[in-house]
Amino acid sequence: MKVFISQPMSGLSDEEIAKVRDVAIEEIKKIYYFFEERGELEIVSATYIRDGEVIPENPSRIWYLGRAIQMMDGVTVIYMCKGWENSKGCKVEHLVATEHEILIYYQR
């Protein structure tokens, strides 16, 4: 079970983004506890920079969006955080999920 977190980030501090992401991770673990207990739950978020990942100098928002869409490859579920409908990037991620028949979970 691979879950992608889609969360608004524009205008938020790194701390605010991390707080929203951490709440989402805890909720995902509760929802998919069966997979968590079996060690079969993978949670991915575009807010993480992977070790060794090459990032261009002064990357644009579109570069980050492209990176997020790449991270959606192979996901079972996309978890849409509150406010997603007001975020350009989240709306694109939602569209990708819809077009590629990825299950969508909306944060309550």
CATH number at residue 60: 3.40.50
β-partners of residue 3 are 43, 77
Helix, strand, coil shares of the chain, percent, nearest 5, are 45, 15, 40
The arithmetic mean of pLDDT across residues 64-86, rounded, is 95
Q: 3-state class of 84 per DSSP?
A: helix
Domain extent for 63: 2-106
Counting the structural domains of the chain, the total is: 1
Backbone angles phi, psi at 41, to 5 degrees: -105, 125
Work out the pLDDT band at 85, boundaries 50, 70, 90: very high
Q: Residue 2 carries which side chain, given as an amino acid letter?
A: K
Q: Residue 83: is its pLDDT beyond 70?
A: yes
pLDDT at position 64: 86
Amino acid at 105: Y
Q: Would the pLDDT of 14 be above 90?
A: no
Residue 32: name the closest of 65, 3, 5, 9 by CA: 3
Read off the pLDDT band of 82 (50, 70, 90): very high
Band of residue 89 on the pLDDT scale cut at 50, 70, 90: very high
Residue in this structure with the two tokens 């991620």, named with its chain if needed:
93
Average pLDDT, the chain: 92
pLDDT tens across 37-74, in order?
999 999 998 876 665 667 778 878 888 899 899 999 99
CA distances from 103 to 26, 50, 51, 62 (A): 19, 25, 29, 24
pLDDT of 48 reads 63
